[in-house]
Structure 1
């Protein structure tokens, strides 16, 4: 399980209704961890990488947590054509949050695709997809770099999401390296800045 997965599911509230989506699901770590915490839900995992989705499907076949899993290979722009508006109660999203050309690219094609945005649109396309999927009152949880937080908040507001809770993640006494934003479709609350949490350590590959 990666540190991003831990950040994405930590403290996830159990009471959402409707379908749950994992956008940019990769091999499904976040969805499977969330399903273990809150069993009995129906999940749809969305990614552009067929091999990672196949790996997720194989793992899902061996799970007995009482949740159901479906898999969709499509990009964020295709989500409004593939799924009905307002069908989801929860969306988790760990998008490619590094801008093009930022720093050293991660090793491996799948890892690069999951971390490096293909263009300057960044996370906005995933926010648009989440805004389409969520029912009013449904929740989005999304990760970003601190440098991209302002642009992310603007995109969330533009697509009808509000009542922000922003939690930085990073070493104590050091600048945050990651931020997690919780928000609500149609939410009209302000912005709450939660205390910074230590970024969780990589926990190794998930158990098979």
Structure 2
């Protein structure tokens, strides 16, 4: 699978993980961050997908990811972080955080993917993104107010720091419990279809969630 490489310095290649604090476990399809990057999700296992709307692999994985999240139920706390491919003012990364802050992501998530990968709308400018969102029922005035808000700007900077700390350099990449990093790129094998690679990724994710839950389970009482 072709990796989507980033030009910005904050994206460090996964091939350097052993030197920078991450360790790749042989043949497991995941790596482990030496310094966990996690949020407080209570008893639920945090699952973060780092993705981009323009990434064809993210688009292909999206319906499978939707079903996987639904299957996990209350065991996980799932969220996405959109990589800022073109820098701090990346239109789609900015739009994603804005919609997330408005609580409107579910309303337009599929439409954005479809516009890019089916309708071939590049959506590489803020006005082009806004036009699509308004056509799909997003209130223009409320969107622009949130788009320019201090809260959204702060969250964009926080995401940038999170991406650097988790050493994300390709999409899609999934981080579980702030320490286990997996991706279709890590699980790709010669002669394997993309769908097979995606399914292998989801199996690794199943195993990692189960591992975290097992670690957290209280020890049995001594008799």
Structure with more of its chain in strand, by fraction: 1
Q: Same fold (TM over 0.5)?
A: no
Structure with more of its chain in helix, by fraction: 2
* TM-score category (smaller protein): under 0.3
TM-score for both structures, normalised by structure 1: 0.28
Higher relative CO (CA 8 A, sep ≥ 6), structure 1 or 2? 2
Q: Which has the larger radius of gyration?
A: 2
